[in-house]
Structure 1
Amino acid sequence: MRRIYSLADKVLAWLGEAADGSDEAIPAIEDIAAKLSGRPIATISLQELREIGIQPEAINWTAIWKLCERPYWSRVWIIQELMSYHPNAKHLFGCGKQWLSKSAMQTFWMWLQFLNGISFVLEGGEVLDPARIKGERGNPPAWHMIITGQMFHDTPDGSLDAPWTPQSLPWLLTSTRSFQATDQRDKIYALLGISTSDGELIPDYSKTTEAVLIDYINHSISKEQNLRCLLGNKLRPCMSRGPSWVPDLYGEEAKGMAWGYDPDNWNKFRPAGDSKSLISFDGSMGRLKVKGFRLGVLVDTVGPFLSNIKFAIRMDLGEGSEASQVGVGIYPHLDRFRQFWPHMPAHLQAVLWRTLVLDQDFEAYPDPTTPAPPELGDMFQILLGFRSVPDDDDDFDAPGYHLRARRYCRRLEMSLEQAIYDRCFFWSDTGWMGLGCFGARPGDVAVVLFGGPLCFVLRPCEGETEFKLVGDAYVHGAMRGDWFETQIVQGRPVEEFVLG
C-alpha cells in the first residue's frame, strides 16, 4: 500500500455521508484557511480575525468538531494514506457532496494549536468560540492525524536515518498512540511500512500483543542505542497491561506540542550526554534492567495541569483531588505557587518559572528561544499578583485588570500551553525542580539513565528492589548532560534499576 500511495498524483479519502452540519463545516474550514494563509497565525487576535473577514460567532464550531471527530481520523491504518503519498500529490477529503483539501486542514489546525485564546475571553469571564469548544472538548482526532502527517513530511532531506525523526518507529508510535485499531498489534505493524524500521521488524500475528511490544522495545534499543522508545506520559501508569516499560496501547497519553510532536525540540535535550543505553532484558519475566543515576525523590507536586475540561471529566479524578477543580492549564494552581513564591530566593524563583516553560520562549515556534528571556519571569509574577502590568502597556485601557493582565502575559501563556499540559510540576528532596508525567506523585524517583533523551520518573515497588516506569520528565539544570558527566568524572557508582 505504501508504494501505491507514493505513486499517486491524487489521494481521495472518504469521510462518510453528510451529517451533523458537515455541509457548513467544510466551507468554513476552507474559508478560514484561505484568509489565514501567509499570516502569523500564532499571534493573530480576535479583532484581527474580524478585520480579515472571519466572524467566529457566525461559524458552526460544533459541526466542525463533529466532522473532525469522525471515526476515519482515529484509524491507525489511515496513517499510510497521509504519509505515503508523493509530496506534490493533491489530497482531498470527501464528505457528502463536498471536498476538503488537506492543505486547508493543516492551516486550520495549526492556527487552533496556537490559538490566541485570551483574546476570546470577555471581561465577565465568558469564553467565545473556538476557544470555548477547544477548552471543553480538546483537540479532536483530526488534529492528531493532520499534525502528525505534517511533521512527517516536514523533515529535512537527508535526515531519514537520524535516530529521532518523524520517520523513526519510536516517534511514530509516540505520535499515534491515541489512534485506534481492532487488533492492538496493528498499532505497531501499521507503522512499519512508513518507518525507517521497514523490513527490520516482521509482522507475526502468532505472537501476543505483549510479546510484540517487547520485541519492539528490544529492537528499538538495540538499533538506536538509546531509550527513546521508553518515552511517554502514561495517564494511569500503574494500571497498564503488561510491563510498565512497554507502550500502553490500551490507554491514553497526553502532552503539549513541545513533548510529542516536534523531534527537533526533543533533540535539544541531552541529560545523559552522548552515552549509549546500558540495558539487559528478561522478557520472559517482563523485566528490563537499566542503569543510571538518581536525581532525587519527589517530595511535592503541583498539578496535573489539565489540557481541557472534557479530559478532566474522562479521567474521573475525584472531587477531592487538586486536578478535579474545573479549569485548564496553570490558572487553577496559581494559589499553590503564591504560597511559597515570597519565601523563595530570586535564583530559585527563576528556576521555577523556567521549569514551567522548559526554559523556552515558544512565541517564535517552531524555533523557540532558549534560554527563555527574563520577561517571561516578569509575566509569571504578574499572573501571581506580585507585580503589576506596566502602565504603558497597549491594553492599558482594557476593562478589568485581570483580563488586562492575561492579555499582557499572552506570550508566557503560549509557552506554558506547549509545556505543562497534562504534566505535573515537582520538587525533589535534593532540590531539583521538574515537569514530570501526569501520574507523578511524592515518593517517586527522578533519574537520568544511560542513553535517555529525557529524564525519567520511576515508582518504587515494595522493598525498592523493583520499579515501575511512570514516564518521562524535564528536570531543570539536568537536561544538557553537564550533571551526568560530573557524576561520571567524580566516580559516582552507577545504579541498576529493575523495571517490571
Structure 2
Amino acid sequence: MNNHHDDSARMEANSLSLPECRATSYVYQPLDDATQSIRLIRLQPALSFDTDVQCDIYHVTLDTRPIYEALSYAWGDAKVTSPIFLEGCPFQATVNLVSALRHLRHEDKTRTLWVDAICIDQSNIQERGHQVAFMATIYSMAESDILWLGDDPHDDAETAFKFIQNMCHTFNNLPPKGKERTKAVRAAYSVLGEDAPVTPLQRIMNNRPIWKRIWIVQEIVVARKVSIQCGNHSMSWDSLGPFMYLIQNDHSLWQQPGALFFFENVLETIQYAALINTVRISYHEPGHRASILELWSQFYDLLATDPRDKIFALLGLAAPMSLDSNADYTKPAPEIFTMAVRTIIYQTKKLDALCMGHRQPANRALPTWVVDFGSCAYFSFPFWRNPIYLASGNTDVSSDTVIHPALDPAKLVVSGLQLDTILTCHYTTTSNGIQTWLDLRPMIQNLPHDILKHRYHTGESMVVALARTITGDMSFGPFEERQRMQESRSISRDIQSILSWTGRLHDQLGKEGDILSVLYGSNVPHVLRKVPGKEDTYTLVGTAYVHGFMYGEAIQWRDQGKLKGQKFNLI
C-alpha cells in the first residue's frame, strides 16, 4: 500500500523542487475518465493545532475498494480562503475547510480522506460533472462520513451531544408500556427535561449552514456510518437518529409539565436532520427509493451554489432515472430542468410534475410547464398524493397516446379534456375579506338558483362544494366525517367555520378567456392560456387544486367517454 501511495503521489505531484513548489499553486493531473477514478488525500499528522495543513494527494479507482473517510461540510465564502499545502504546493481552501482539517488530523499518523473541494478539480467543468455522477458511490464506499458542523465557539457540542446520548440511553431502558412506564417517563423528564440545553441544541442542530446545504442530503443518506463533529467533540448519527424519533413520536414526553415549550423548540431545531434521517431509513430498505420529484418537494428550500445542483444532488438518491444530462455542468440550468421534468413524466407515467412550483415567481428562461428546481421559493402543497384531488383518477401517461413527440424541446405536447372557459374570476384571498359566511353570501346569491337546489355528486350540497372550492378543500377531512358534521350543525355554521380559517384561501386561478383543462395522467385540473396567433398552443397558468364544480364532473366525463381528448401544446 505504501509503494502504491508513493507511485501515485509522484504521478500527481508537480516536478518542481520544494522551494519552487511552495511559490507555485498546485496543478492537478487529469483523472482517467474511462474508470471510476478519484483522488484521495493523506492528511499529515501535526502536534500543534496551528501547524500548516499538509496533504499528499493521489489517484485510485473505486473498484480497488480503497479505505478512506469522506468529509461533509459547508464550504463557506469561497472568496475567504487560507492556504494548505498539497504535495508541498499551496492550495487555497475555504476557512471552514481548513478548520475541519486542523481538527481532524491526528498527532502521530496520517488520515486518508475524500474532500470534494480538494479531490475534484473545481476549475475543470467536465471533470466536475464526471465526478458528481458517482458522488453517491464515493460516499457509500467510505468507511465513514464525517459531518463537520464547524467550530464550537460557545462550547455547545459537548453539552448538546451528552444530552442527546443520555436521553436516548435513558428512554431506551424504560418499561415498554403501562403505569410503570408513565412513572418512569415522569421521573426521567424531571431529570433530563428541566435542564435541557435548548440553546446549545439550537446552535448545533439548526444555526449551522451545513443543515441548509442540498448536497448534505445525499452524503448523509448513502453513507454506511456518519460521525457528527463540532469543534473537538463528536457523536455518531446512530445516537441522533433515535433521539429524533423519540422527540417526534413519544407523545408521553409532551404530556409532562412544562414540556411543550421544550419539545416545540427541539422539533423546530431538528427539522432538517429529521427529514434527512427519514430518507436515510427508506433509502436503505429494498424497493423504497423515492422519486426525484418527491425528494425535491421535501428539500426544495435547501441551498446550492449552482442551481443545477438542486437536481444533481438528488439523482443518487432517487429511483433510477435515465437523465441523459446526468451531471453535465456544460448545459445551462433551464435545459437541465426541462430534461428532468420530461424524464420524470416518461418514467413515472404521470403528469404530477406539472403540479409543482406553479406558485413560484415566473422564470422566463423556463417553459411554463417546467419547475424552477433552482428556486427556494415556497411552492404549493404536495396535493398530488391526496385522493381528493384525483381529477383524472389513476390514469397512466402512455407515451404514444398522451405524450406526443415535439420537435421543440421546450414544448410539451399532451392530451387532455377541455372542461370550460373562464369568463370571470374572483380573488379569494383574505385581503379581499372573504372570511365568513356573510362574505360568501353575495357570491352565492349571484349563482343561478336552480344550481343550488341540487346536491353535488358526492352527496354534499352545492353550497358546501362552492365553499370547498374557495378554500381549496384544505380544511376538510374525509367525506364521511364531513357528512357527520353536517348532520349536527347547519350549513351556514359549517361554512363560517371553514372560511374563518385563514391562510388557505387561494389567489385567482386565471384570467378571462383562460381554458380550464384536465390533462390525462394529471391529478388536478390545470388552467391553460391560449397563446394568440399560435394554433393549439398554450401556457400553463397554474394548477386549480380545488374540489368545486369541475373536479367531479371531469371524472364522470372521462369514465363515461363523453368527451374526446385533444392535444395541448404547452410552452
Q: Does 1:492 align with 2:548?
A: no
Q: CA deviation at 1:151?
A: 4.3
Aligned equivalents of 2:369, 2:356: Cα separation in 1: 10
Provide the secondary structure at the position in 2 that maps to 1:292.
strand
Q: Does 1:300 align with 2:426?
A: yes
Q: 1:16 to 1:284 in 2, by over 3 A?
A: same
CA RMSD of superposed structures (Å): 5.2
Contact 1:234–1:252, Cα closer than 8 Å, also in 2:
no
Q: Among residues 374, 394, 402, which one is paired with 2:482 in the alignment?
A: 374
Superposition pairs of residues 152-163 of structure 1, within 5 angstroms: 153-154=281-282, 159-160=287-288
Aligned equivalents of 2:462, 2:311: Cα separation in 1: 43
Q: Among residues 13, 16, 32, which one is paired with 2:147 in the alignment?
A: 13
Contact 2:392–2:558, Cα closer than 8 Å, also in 1:
no
Contact 2:390–2:523, Cα closer than 8 Å, also in 1:
yes
Q: 1:471 to 1:130 in 2, by over 3 A?
A: farther
| Paired position in structure 1 for 2:67 | none
Superposition pairs of residues 7-406 of structure 1, within 5 angstroms: 11-19=145-153, 22-23=156-157, 52-53=189-190, 60=198, 64=202, 67-86=205-224, 91-96=226-231, 97=233, 99=235, 101-104=239-242, 106-107=244-245, 110=248, 143-144=271-272, 146-151=274-279, 153-154=281-282, 159-160=287-288, 166-198=289-321, 200-201=323-324, 202-239=326-363, 241-254=365-378, 259=382, 265-266=385-386, 270-273=390-393, 274-276=395-397, 278-280=402-404, 282=406, 284=408, 286-296=410-420, 297=422, 299-303=425-429, 335-340=435-440, 347-351=461-465, 352=467, 356=472, 358=474, 361=477, 370-371=478-479, 373-374=481-482, 377=485, 386=493
Contact 1:25–1:61, Cα closer than 8 Å, also in 2:
no
| CA deviations over 1:462-487 (Å, ceiling 9, x no partner) | 67964433444433279998733524
Q: CA deviation at 1:185?
A: 1.9
| Paired position in structure 2 for 1:448 | 518
| CA deviations over 1:228-286 (Å, ceiling 9, x no partner) | 23231343343453212222133234368x727xx8x4478542232425234547472
Q: CA deviation at 1:212?
A: 1.5
Provide the secondary structure at the position in 2 that maps to 1:486.
helix
Provide the secondary structure at the position in 2 that maps to 1:272.
coil
Contact 1:178–1:253, Cα closer than 8 Å, also in 2:
yes
User: Which amino acid letter does the alignment assign opposite residue 150 of structure 1?
Assistant: T
Q: 1:245 to 1:381 in 2, by over 3 A?
A: farther
Q: 1:8 to 1:62 in 2, by over 3 A?
A: closer
| CA deviations over 1:296-332 (Å, ceiling 9, x no partner) | 537334348xxxxxxxxxxxxxxxx56xxxxxxxxxx
Q: CA deviation at 1:7?
A: 5.3
Number of corresponding residues: 392
Q: 1:204 to 1:338 in 2, by over 3 A?
A: same
Q: 1:216 to 1:374 in 2, by over 3 A?
A: closer
User: Which amino acid letter does the alignment assign opposite residue 327 of structure 2?
Assistant: P
Q: Which has the higher Rg, Structure 1 or Structure 2?
A: 2
Q: 1:235 to 1:198 in 2, by over 3 A?
A: closer
Aligned equivalents of 2:284, 2:387: Cα separation in 1: 14
Aligned equivalents of 1:187, 1:203: Cα separation in 2: 11
User: Which amino acid letter does the alignment assign opposite residue 217 of structure 1?
Assistant: V
Contact 1:301–1:442, Cα closer than 8 Å, also in 2:
no
Worse-matched range after superposition: 372-381 or 149-158: 372-381
Aligned equivalents of 2:407, 2:301: Cα separation in 1: 25
Aligned equivalents of 2:163, 2:543: Cα separation in 1: 39
Worse-matched range after superposition: 102-111 or 206-215: 102-111
Provide the secondary structure at the position in 1 that maps to 2:545.
strand
TM-score, with normalisation over the residues of structure 2? 0.53
Contact 1:152–1:167, Cα closer than 8 Å, also in 2:
no
Q: 1:155 to 1:132 in 2, by over 3 A?
A: closer
Among all aligned residue pairs of Structure 1 and Structure 2, give the percentage whose two residues are the same amino acid: 20
Q: 1:457 to 1:254 in 2, by over 3 A?
A: farther
| CA deviations over 1:352-410 (Å, ceiling 9, x no partner) | 3596555864xxxxxxxx4361389579989x9948xxxxxxxxxxxxxxxxxxxxx9x
Aligned equivalents of 1:218, 1:483: Cα separation in 2: 25
| CA deviations over 1:181-216 (Å, ceiling 9, x no partner) | 222222222222222225653332222212222222
Q: CA deviation at 1:15?
A: 1.1
Q: 1:349 to 1:65 in 2, by over 3 A?
A: farther
Q: 1:247 to 1:236 in 2, by over 3 A?
A: closer
Contact 2:397–2:403, Cα closer than 8 Å, also in 1:
no
Aligned equivalents of 2:317, 2:378: Cα separation in 1: 23
Q: CA deviation at 1:292?
A: 1.3
Aligned equivalents of 2:295, 2:438: Cα separation in 1: 39
Provide the secondary structure at the position in 2 that maps to 1:13.
strand
User: Which amino acid letter does the alignment assign opposite residue 215 of structure 1?
Assistant: M
